[in-house]
C-alpha cells in the first residue's frame, strides 16, 4: 500500500490497480505523454481529412476555365465589315451579331455561350464574385456549426455533400443569372471544408507538429489545383461537363472515406463529452503502438465539466464570446484585415492568369506547381521560424513580384490570342514567384489563426478569417475583368494590398511553441502570466 501511494504521488499509474486516485491531465499532456505528438494514427487521420482539400481547390478554381474568355474568333462568311481575317485578333464589339463565331465553339465557356463581351463583359465577373460571397457567408455558418452543434467531422461531411449537389446543379444552368446563383450556392457549400479540416487535423497532434500538419492540407489543395487543368482540358469544348465531373469526387469521399475519421477530442471535451474524447485518444494511442490509457485517467475540462457525462447544455460551454472579449476582438479584426489583402492577392493572381501573355493551361499548371515549394518551404520554416516574420516576408515577396509584373504587362484586348509557342516568360516567372509568396502567406495565416485563439472559439475564429479571405477574393474577379483592358493596373493593386497585409501582421503576437488554450479566459490569464514572466526575466537580465 505504501508503495502504491508513493507511485500515485509521483504521478504514475500501477497497471491493473483499482486506485480511486484520479489522474487529471489536459489533452496536450495526454497527447505528449501517452499518445505521441505525431504517430501513425495521427498521420493516417491527417491524410484522410486533408484529402477533402482537393475538392475545395477544384471547386474554387473551376472558373479559371469555365469563365475564361475564348482566345480566338473568326468570321462566319470570311468578311466581317471589312475585316477579312478568319482568325482575328481584333475586337468583335463593332461587328454585326451573327457574322462571327468563337473558334472553340459556343459551349467552351460561359462567355462564349452567353456572349459576355463588350458592354456585357463585367457580367462575366459576377459568378466568381458571388461564389466568394457565398463562401464568406458560409464560413460564418459553418464556423458556428463546427464549434457548437455538429463538430468538425460532421461539418466536413455536410459541406462535401452539398458541394457535390451544387456543382452538379451548376452544370444545368440555362443562363448567366441561374449560373451565378448556383455558383453562390456552391461557394456557400464548400466553405465548411477548409476551415473544419484545418482545425480537425491540428487538434489531434502535439504542439511541435501543429504548423507542419496544418501545411499538409494546403499540399492537398495544391494537388487539387494541379489536377484541375487535367480535368478541364478534356472538357474544354463543354464547360458543363467540367462541373459534372467535379461533382463526383466529394460525394464519394464523404460516403467512403470520411466515416473512418475520428472527431476532435478537444471539441468533444469542451462539449462535456469527455468519455468520447478519451476513447478517441485511446484509439490514437493503441494505433501508435502505445499502451492503453490508464483507467483512472480523466481530462481536465476548462469549461468546468470534469465528469464523463454529456454536458452540452452547460452555460459554461457557451457563455464566452469572441467579440465581447476586448483582446480577442482586436486580434480578430487585425487577422481579418490582413486576411482580406492575402485573399485578394492569392485568389486574384490565380484568376488573373488569363491576362498573362501566355497559354492559359500552361500558366495555370505553372502556378499550381509553385504551390508545392510554397507548402514545402512553409512546412520547413514553420519548424523554427516565427509565424509573424514568415507571414510578413511572404506578403512582401508577393508585393514586390506583383509590382514588377506591372512593368512587363502588355495591354490586352477582348480577343487576344494565347499562343502556345510565344509568350512573356519573364512576366510568367515573376508572376509565379509572386504567387508562391501569396500562397505561403495564405497557408501561414491559417496556421497562425489556429494558434491565436482557444478551442471554444477556434473554428469560429478560423471561419472569420475565411470570411475576410473570401471578401478579398470576391472583389478580385472585378479587377481581373479590368485587367483584360489594362493588366498593369491589376498587378499594381495586388502589390499594394500585399504590402498592407505584411504590415498588419506585425501587430499580432508570436505563437511559435505556444500551447493551444481551451477557453478565452484561460488564454488571457496564461498570456498575461507569460508576458509578466517575460518582463521579469528581462529586468533580471538587465540588472
Whether residues 228 and 359 fall in one domain: no
Mean pLDDT check: name the lowest of 194-198, 273-277, 536-540: 536-540
Whether residues 168 and 216 fall in one domain: yes
Whether residues 223 and 123 fall in one domain: yes
- CATH number of the domain where residue 267 is located: 1.20.1250.20
Strand partners for 101: 74
pLDDT of 529 higher than 90: no
Query: Looking at per-residue confidence, does 407 or 181 come out higher?
Result: 181
Write down the pLDDT at residue 189: 94
C-beta of residue 272 within 8 angstroms of C-beta of residue 309: yes
Three cell numbers at 425?
516568360
Helix or strand (DSSP H, E) at 73: strand 73-75
pLDDT band at residue 258, thresholds of 50, 70 and 90? very high
List the one residue out of 377, 340, 61, 345 whose CA is nearest residue 215: 377
pLDDT band at residue 54, thresholds of 50, 70 and 90? very high
Whether residues 230 and 349 fall in one domain: no
Query: Looking at per-residue confidence, does 302 or 347 come out higher?
Result: 347
C-beta of residue 304 within 8 angstroms of C-beta of residue 319: no
326-351 helix and 360-382 helix, angle to the nearest 10 degrees: 150
Whether residues 274 and 357 fall in one domain: no
C-beta of residue 502 within 8 angstroms of C-beta of residue 426: no
d(CA 168, CA 165): 5
Whether residues 113 and 237 fall in one domain: yes
d(CA 356, CA 438): 17
* Domain-embedded: residue 3: no
Whether residues 341 and 472 fall in one domain: yes
Q: Taking all residues of the chain, what is their mean pLDDT, rounded to a whole number?
A: 79
C-beta of residue 196 within 8 angstroms of C-beta of residue 155: yes
pTM, entire model:
0.70
Three cell numbers at 412?
490586352
131-147: pLDDT as tens digits: 988 988 888 888 888 88
* Domain-embedded: residue 35: yes
Q: CA angle, 192 as apex, 186 and 194 as ends, to 5°?
A: 105
Whether residues 161 and 221 fall in one domain: yes
Query: Looking at per-residue confidence, does 526 or 84 come out higher?
Result: 526
* Domain-embedded: residue 328: yes
Whether residues 113 and 225 fall in one domain: yes
Whether residues 37 and 164 fall in one domain: yes
DSSP string, 293-309: PPTTEEE--TTS--SSS
* Domain-embedded: residue 143: yes
Whether residues 263 and 216 fall in one domain: yes
Q: What are φ and ψ of residue 24, in 5° steps?
A: -100, 120
Helices (H) and strands (E) in the chain, counts: 21, 4
Can you give the residue range of the structural domain that contains 296?
Answer: 24-76+96-301
* Domain-embedded: residue 318: no
* Domain-embedded: residue 343: yes
* Domain-embedded: residue 391: yes
Hey, is 51 helix, strand or coil? Answer: coil
C-beta of residue 102 within 8 angstroms of C-beta of residue 118: no
Most confident of 220-229, 336-345, 406-415: 336-345
Mean pLDDT check: name the lowest of 49-63, 251-265, 306-320, 508-522: 306-320
Region 227-239: mean pLDDT is 88
Whether residues 35 and 137 fall in one domain: yes
* Domain-embedded: residue 204: yes
Domain count, the chain: 2
3-state secondary structure labels for all residues of 152-208: HHHHHHHHHHHHHHHHHHHCCCCCHHHHHHHHHHHHHHHHHHHHHHHHHHHCCCCHH
Amino acid at each position: 500500500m505504501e508503495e502504491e501511494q508513493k507511485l500515485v504521488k509521483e504521478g504514475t499509474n500501477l497497471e491493473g490497480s483499482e486506485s480511486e486516485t484520479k489522474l487529471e491531465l489536459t489533452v496536450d499532456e495526454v497527447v505528449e505523454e501517452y499518445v505521441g505528438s505525431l504517430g501513425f494514427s495521427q498521420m493516417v487521420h491527417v491524410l484522410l481529412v486533408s484529402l477533402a482539400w482537393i475538392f475545395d481547390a477544384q471547386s474554387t478554381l473551376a472558373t479559371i476555365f469555365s469563365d475564361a474568355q475564348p482566345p480566338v474568333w473568326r468570321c462566319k462568311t470570311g468578311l466581317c465589315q471589312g475585316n477579312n481575317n478568319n482568325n482575328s485578333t481584333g475586337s468583335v464589339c463593332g461587328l454585326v451579331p451573327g457574322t462571327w463565331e468563337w473558334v472553340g465553339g459556343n459551349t467552351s465557356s460561359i462567355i462564349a455561350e452567353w456572349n459576355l463581351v463588350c458592354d456585357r463583359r463585367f457580367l462575366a465577373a459576377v459568378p466568381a464574385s458571388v461564389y466568394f460571397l457565398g463562401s464568406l457567408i458560409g464560413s460564418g455558418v459553418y464556423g458556428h456549426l463546427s464549434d457548437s452543434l455538429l463538430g468538425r467531422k460532421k461539418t466536413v461531411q455536410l459541406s462535401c455533400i452539398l458541394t457535390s449537389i451544387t456543382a452538379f446543379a451548376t452544370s444545368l444552368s440555362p443562363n448567366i443569372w441561374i449560373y451565378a446563383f448556383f455558383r453562390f450556392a456552391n461557394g456557400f457549400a464548400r466553405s465548411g471544408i477548409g476551415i473544419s479540416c484545418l482545425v480537425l487535423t491540428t487538434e489531434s497532434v502535439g504542439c511541435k507538429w501543429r504548423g507542419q500538419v496544418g501545411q499538409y492540407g494546403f499540399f492537398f489543395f495544391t494537388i487539387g489545383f494541379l489536377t484541375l487543368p487535367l480535368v478541364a482540358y478534356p472538357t474544354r469544348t463543354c464547360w458543363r461537363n467540367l462541373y459534372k465531373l467535379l461533382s463526383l469526387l466529394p460525394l464519394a469521399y464523404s460516403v467512403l472515406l470520411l466515416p473512418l475519421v475520428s472527431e476532435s477530442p478537444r471539441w468533444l471535451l469542451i462539449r462535456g463529452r469527455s468519455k468520447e474524447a478519451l476513447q478517441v485518444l485511446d484509439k490514437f494511442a493503441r494505433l501508435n503502438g502505445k499502451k492503453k490509457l490508464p483507467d483512472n485517467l480523466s481530462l481536465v475540462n476548462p469549461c468546468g465539466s470534469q465528469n464523463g457525462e454529456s454536458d452540452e447544455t452547460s452555460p459554461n460551454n457557451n457563455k464566452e464570446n469572441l467579440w465581447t472579449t476586448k483582446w480577442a476582438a482586436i486580434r480578430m479584426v487585425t487577422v481579418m484585415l490582413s486576411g482580406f489583402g492575402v485573399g485578394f492577392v492569392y485568389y486574384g493572381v490565380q484568376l488573373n492568369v488569363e491576362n498573362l501573355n501566355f497559354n492559359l493551361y500552361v500558366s495555370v499548371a505553372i502556378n499550381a506547381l509553385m504551390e508545392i515549394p510554397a507548402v514545402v518551404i512553409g512546412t520547413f520554416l514553420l519548424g523554427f521560424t516565427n509565424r509573424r516574420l514568415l507571414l510578413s516576408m511572404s506578403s512582401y515577396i508577393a508585393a514586390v513580384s506583383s509590382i514588377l509584373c506591372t512593368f512587363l504587362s502588355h495591354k490586352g484586348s477582348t480577343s487576344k490570342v494565347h499562343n502556345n509557342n510565344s509568350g512573356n516568360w519573364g512576366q510568367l516567372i515573376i508572376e509565379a514567384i509572386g504567387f508562391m509568396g501569396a500562397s505561403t502567406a495564405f497557408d501561414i495565416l491559417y496556421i497562425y489563426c489556429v494558434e491565436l485563439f482557444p478551442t471554444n472559439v477556434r473554428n469560429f475564429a478560423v471561419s472569420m478569417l475565411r470570411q475576410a479571405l473570401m471578401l478579398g477574393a470576391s472583389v478580385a474577379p472585378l479587377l481581373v475583368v479590368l485587367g483584360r483592358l489594362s493588366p498593369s493596373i491589376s498587378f499594381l493593386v495586388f502589390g499594394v494590398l500585399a504590402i498592407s497585409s505584411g504590415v498588419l501582421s506585425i501587430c499580432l503576437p508570436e505563437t511559435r511553441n505556444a500551447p493551444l488554450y481551451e477557453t478565452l479566459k484561460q488564454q488571457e490569464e496564461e498570456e498575461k502570466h507569460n508576458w509578466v514572466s517575460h518582463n521579469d526575466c528581462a529586468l533580471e537580465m538587465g540588472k
